[in-house]
A and B are shown apart, each in its own frame.
Chain A
Amino acid sequence: MALSREQIAMRVAQELEDGFYVNLGIGIPTLVANYVPKGVEVMMQSENGLLGMGEFPTEETIDPDLINAGKQTVTAATGAAFFSSAESFAMIRGGHVDLTVLGAFEVDQEGNIASWMIPGKLVKGMGGAMDLVAGAENIIVTMTHANKHGKSKILKKCTLPLTGAQCIKRVITELALMEIKDGAFHLVERAPGVSVEEIQEKTEADLVIPDNVPEMNV
């Protein structure tokens, strides 16, 4: 069966390593914080100027001067630091963040990603996403495999304006974990109970399928 949003987050969380500094985007990526494996300590970087994001506050401790990049009220974890936006993006652009997880509208087999606007319809703005994809070596994109009309978002070539060119190497959808290399998606794992045929059918891009595609452990 296709993964829930929580299960996608759980699978991403398995990639967290002890001592990682991690930036989580808005949406499914935010949920990853709920599934940090036991014995693994990570520090969450929030690009509005916080390293060491803690849990949500209580009604008593809520502070309008302390928010995350999603504009949610948060707390600072033990050992946290506050800094300016310029400092924050020095961390990001300078490659100091160990893992970045963000969402997308489309990803293609060249590693291009589109996530910030749909011409004539919707403009969210790129926020920090362009800096994140340009600065990070280790990026995981979480997204749905196809839109609600069944049209694939895993493409040969992105149709929407790009957030970054040739920068994405790993994608996790509700159906599969895939890696991008040599101009194609490579199927690495599939969601429990989801057939390789279904993934193939919902993938417009070139998809390399090995003989054995293990099920995800979620």
Chain B
Amino acid sequence: MSGFNKVVNSYEEALEGFKDDMTVMVGGFGLCGIPEGLIEQVHQLGAKGLTAISNNAGVDGFGLGKWLDKRQISTMIGSYVGENELFEKLLLSGEMEVILTPQGTLAEKIRAGGAGIPAFFTATGFGTQVAEGKETRNIDGRDYVLEPSLTADFALVKAWKADTMGNLIFNKTAMNFNPMMATAGKITVAEVEEIVEPGELDPNFIHTPGIYVQRVIKGDKFEKRIEQRTVKQS
């Protein structure tokens, strides 16, 4: 079984081989479901010239906002800038290349990348800036844009539970981009809240089978910051 034991015991080990100029996918939607410890480790390593693929770029000073602080990202591929002021500033000044990609197209590019599909046609973005310079085709009377898929040197994902073989289960909407990214990394590292022995997770309810995952690390701590704390008036 040891050949299937994916557990590593330190963040150094988790990111062994991580270098400048690499392409890295980072799971999460806003700050929900992000691999906090792995993000911090890349920040500590100080790797530069990264192409980062992530729906958002964190907030100022947290999540991928940390990489922005150190100007570690040269190209950002994501769908939403939102209220991240530094991100917007680096984008508008041209200091960082930003490839804004529709959210569903981004998800599908990653899914396709992990599934060995080089490109796909989608109606999303036809007739907009997103389609500029891309092949288009009319299929059965509707116009579509050819979108190339995405893969990465490293995929950093966050899961709720893993077994030592790398089978993963996500929690609620902290799933988001994590399952597709897990399939699309040459090296996929899963930072999880709990690691159990093989057999303890019901095979009926595995979200990401262990074949996609190279390394599993139990996170030190998860701050799980909330961006919009909304509660019911009671």
Q: A62-B231, A73-B226, A85-B180 are in contact. Are A128 and B103 (CB under 8 A)?
A: yes
A48 in contact with B100 (CB, 8 Å) = no
A89-105: CB near B (< 8 Å → 1, else 0) gives: 10011000000000000
B173 in contact with A73 (CB, 8 Å) = no
A84 in contact with B178 (CB, 8 Å) = yes
Q: A84-B179, A93-B123, A130-B124 are in contact. Are A67 and B81 (CB under 8 A)?
A: no
Tell me which of A47, A74, A82 has the highest count of chain B C-beta atoms within 10 A of its own C-beta: A82
B225 in contact with A64 (CB, 8 Å) = yes
Give the shortest distance, in Å, between B131 (CB) and chain A (any CB): 9
A127 in contact with B103 (CB, 8 Å) = yes
Cα of A69 to Cα of B81 in the assembled complex, Å:
13
Q: Within residues 29 to 66 of chain A, which ones have a CB less than 8 A from any CB in chain B?
A: 46-50, 55-59, 62-66
Which residues of chain A are near B177, meaning CB under 8 Å? Answer: 84-85
The residue of chain A having its C-beta at the shortest distance from the C-beta of B171 within the complex is A65
Kindly count the residue-residue contacts between A and B in the assembled complex, taking CB atoms under 8 Å apart. 173
The residue of chain A having its C-beta at the shortest distance from the C-beta of B59 within the complex is A71
Which residues of chain B are near A86, meaning CB under 8 Å? Answer: 107-108, 110-111, 179-180
Which residues of chain B are near A161, meaning CB under 8 Å? Answer: 128-129
Which residues of chain B are near A89, meaning CB under 8 Å? Answer: 103-105, 107-108
Asked whether A208 is an interface residue with its Cβ less than 8 Å from the other chain, the reply is: no
Interface-facing stretch out of B18-26, B27-35, B212-220: B27-35
A66 in contact with B108 (CB, 8 Å) = no
Give the shortest distance, in Å, between A53 (CB) and chain B (any CB): 10
Asked whether B151 is an interface residue with its Cβ less than 8 Å from the other chain, the reply is: no
Q: A55-B232, A84-B177 are in contact. Are A123 and B108 (CB under 8 A)?
A: no
B128 in contact with A165 (CB, 8 Å) = yes
Which residues of chain B are near A187, meaning CB under 8 Å? Answer: none
Q: A48-B32, A49-B176, A131-B102 are in contact. Are A85 and B107 (CB under 8 A)?
A: yes
Q: Within residues 84 to 133 of chain B, which ones have a CB less than 8 A from any CB in chain A?
A: 88, 91-92, 100, 102-108, 110-111, 122-130
Give the shortest distance, in Å, between B223 (CB) and chain A (any CB): 9
Asked whether A134 is an interface residue with its Cβ less than 8 Å from the other chain, the reply is: yes
Cα of A165 to Cα of B55 in the assembled complex, Å:
23
A76 in contact with B104 (CB, 8 Å) = no
What's the interface size class on B, roughly? 35 or more
A126 in contact with B126 (CB, 8 Å) = no
Q: Within residues 173 to 230 of chain B, which ones have a CB less than 8 A from any CB in chain A?
A: 173-180, 207, 224-230
B228 in contact with A49 (CB, 8 Å) = no
Cα of A125 to Cα of B224 in the assembled complex, Å:
24
Q: A72-B230, A85-B107, A166-B127 are in contact. Are A127 and B174 (CB under 8 A)?
A: no
Cα of A81 to Cα of B171 in the assembled complex, Å:
11
Tell me which of B105, B176, B177, B229 has the highest count of chain A C-beta atoms within 10 A of its own C-beta: B176
B32 in contact with A64 (CB, 8 Å) = yes
Cα of A59 to Cα of B233 in the assembled complex, Å:
10
A126 in contact with B92 (CB, 8 Å) = no
Which residues of chain B are near A46, meaning CB under 8 Å? Answer: 173
Asked whether A120 is an interface residue with its Cβ less than 8 Å from the other chain, the reply is: yes
Please list the residues of chain B having a beta carbon within 8 angstroms of any beta carbon in chain A.
29-33, 55, 78-82, 88, 91-92, 100, 102-108, 110-111, 122-130, 160, 170-180, 207, 224-232, 234
Closest 4 CB pairs between A and B? A165-B127, A89-B104, A131-B104, A130-B102
